[in-house]
Amino acid sequence: MAYLVQHHGTFWFSIRVPVSLQSRFGPVVRVNLQTTDHAFAKPMALRLASEWLSRFDAARAEALSGAPAPVLGSPEFTPLSPYALHPPPIAAGGLDSKTPAVAAAVAGGKRTKRSAWGDAELLSAWRQLDPDRASTTVRDMESVVREFRRTCRTPFKQLTRVEISAYRNHLLKRGAARGTVAKRVGMLSTLLQVGVDAGMLAANVARGLRIPKAEVPTLMRRGFTSAELARVFAMPVFRGARRPAAGGGEACVWIPMLALATGARLEELAQLRVEDIEIAPAFGPILHIRDTHGEQRLKTEGSRRRIPLHRDLVAAGLLEYWDSVREAGHQWLFPALEPDHDGRRGANFGKWFMRAIRSKSGAQIEEPRVVFHSFRHGFKTLCRAADLKEEIHDALTGHVSGTVGRTYGEMPLGPLVDAIARIELPVALPRIEQEEVRHG
């Protein structure tokens, strides 16, 4: 096996680092597996190989996106796995013999007879290589496979580089950022490598695929103008008309108002729980952006924050709505939102919102640079217009500064409350008279 070497009777994992990454990882990665038993060493090496190949792919994606990468020996550099220096003991029989990717190694060096692997088997093998993998990473991998299957139905065992290239080109033509394309192709490459390591695939046809610049330039978003905002909040849903199911019922009026007055991302608002609003005795109503519930996700660690509710949101009736949802026994602030197949509660709402602001019966905004995220752009502009310090509006929007000092401590609520009080919204929010919120 290429990843195993023996030194004085003890097995070591060894993998050669691609030339472009050697300044970061060194020329070769070696790990003492602390065993003399080949049957135990082989599955351990398979797992380490999968993880290091994933790290190499991630490092390439970072390089394409321009993100700074720590180099070997720097304080920021950390080993990939917790057992990189101290591998965990393996009981007799090796790793889980039901794991397809290591079944061959555990079965006395004889590969299991299997004609082909489907998507489910490869995903299962990849998941079992690291059972403690973050749930968000698992969802991302499953999402990439589903997306790939919309463009290609060829079984993994019959894939060629042509199909992978076609998928890459499909993403680029859709306007996906180069770093995003590199990440998705890299995840496919990681998945295929699991099959290669298990002897079920002949080659990793996605390995090393180059990502050229997109033919379609990345579209730069902008904030709403005051006139556009006036048209948005004059749409029928804000004038007491029916609440469309596609817009998540009451979510279709409150999420846009919250986005305007908080700058929060769509998914951050869509996944709010009832307990994420609190009345602080000394500060008034506070909105918590957090991931304390298992179905809540945040973009980054810095996204976790507290935002005082703007006075115009309170005047519009948000707290009355909050009370009615609590009294109805709901856990989600917007219970009518239906998650999509990736578990995102805001995905379907986002589609409805884009149709609404583009339609002739809606806001009639045809500018392609104006999207839901334009609320977030506009909020940053409002913060600057209110002459707020950058560290204050970064704390309100969850942007992480590159300054090391900003990562220490927590921004007190007092300055945030004062900051929100200084922000003047460019449009009057409509008053929403709250009706009874029904279960379901």
Q: Which of 332, 195, 346 is nearest to 264 (CA)?
A: 346
Residue 308 belongs to a domain with what CATH number?
1.10.443
Inter-residue contact 255 to 266 (CB < 8 Å): yes
For residue 127, being part of any structural domain is answered with: yes
For residue 48, being part of any structural domain is answered with: yes
For the chain, counts of helices (H) and of strands (E): 16, 6
Same domain, 162 and 265: no
Look-up: residue for tokens 């195993």? 4
* 319 bridge partner residues: none
Q: Which of 57, 22, 62, 47 is nearest to 189 (CA)?
A: 57
Predicted confidence (pLDDT) per residue in 162-174, tens digit? 999 999 999 988 8
Tokens coding 325: 């949802």
Inter-residue contact 431 to 253 (CB < 8 Å): no
Q: How far apart are CA 440 and CA 437, in angstroms?
A: 9
For residue 153, being part of any structural domain is answered with: yes
| Span 43-58, average pLDDT | 80
- DSSP H or E segment with residue 251: helix 251-262
Same domain, 236 and 383: yes
- Phi, psi of 29, rounded to the nearest 5 degrees: -105, 125
CA 420, chain centre distance (Å): 28
Predicted confidence (pLDDT) per residue in 234-261, tens digit? 999 998 768 899 999 999 999 999 999 9
Same domain, 415 and 326: yes
First and final CA of the chain: distance in angstroms?
A: 56
Predicted confidence (pLDDT) per residue in 62-80, tens digit? 777 665 554 444 444 444 4
Same domain, 360 and 298: yes
Same domain, 361 and 311: yes
Same domain, 150 and 263: no
CA 297, chain centre distance (Å): 8
Predicted confidence (pLDDT) per residue in 315-335, tens digit? 999 999 999 999 999 999 999
Same domain, 162 and 59: yes
Same domain, 163 and 283: no
Q: How far apart are CA 100 and CA 111, in angstroms?
A: 10
Angle at 194 between CA 193 and CA 196, to 5 degrees: 60
Predicted confidence (pLDDT) per residue in 265-316, tens digit? 999 999 999 999 999 999 999 999 999 888 898 888 789 999 999 999 999 9
Predicted confidence (pLDDT) per residue in 345-360, tens digit? 999 999 999 999 999 9
Predicted confidence (pLDDT) per residue in 375-426, tens digit? 999 999 999 999 999 999 899 998 876 554 445 557 899 999 999 999 999 9
Angle at 394 between CA 261 and CA 337, to 5 degrees: 45
For residue 206, being part of any structural domain is answered with: no
According to the model, what pLDDT value does residue 2 have?
Answer: 65
Inter-residue contact 386 to 423 (CB < 8 Å): yes
According to the model, what pLDDT value does residue 95 have?
Answer: 34
Same domain, 151 and 189: yes
Give the domain range for residue 312: 226-422
Sheet of strand 305-308: strand arrangement = 277-280, 284-289, 305-308
Same domain, 240 and 386: yes
Per DSSP, the three-state class of 94 is coil
According to the model, what pLDDT value does residue 80 have?
Answer: 41
Judged against a pLDDT cut of 80, whether residue 89 lies above it is answered with no
| Span 125-134, average pLDDT | 80
For residue 91, being part of any structural domain is answered with: no
Number of domains comprising the chain = 2
Q: How far apart are CA 133 and CA 146, in angstroms?
A: 19
19 band by pLDDT with thresholds 50, 70 and 90: confident
pTM recorded for the entire structure: 0.56
| Span 144-169, average pLDDT | 92
Tokens coding 254: 């409150």
Least confident of 170-184, 190-204, 390-404: 390-404
Task: Encode 154-164: b = buried (16+ Cβ within 10 Å), e = exposed.
Answer: eebeebeeebb
Same domain, 187 and 233: no
Q: How far apart are CA 319 and CA 81, in angstroms?
A: 46
For residue 327, being part of any structural domain is answered with: yes
Same domain, 179 and 252: no
Tokens coding 2: 């290429």
For residue 360, being part of any structural domain is answered with: yes
For residue 350, being part of any structural domain is answered with: yes
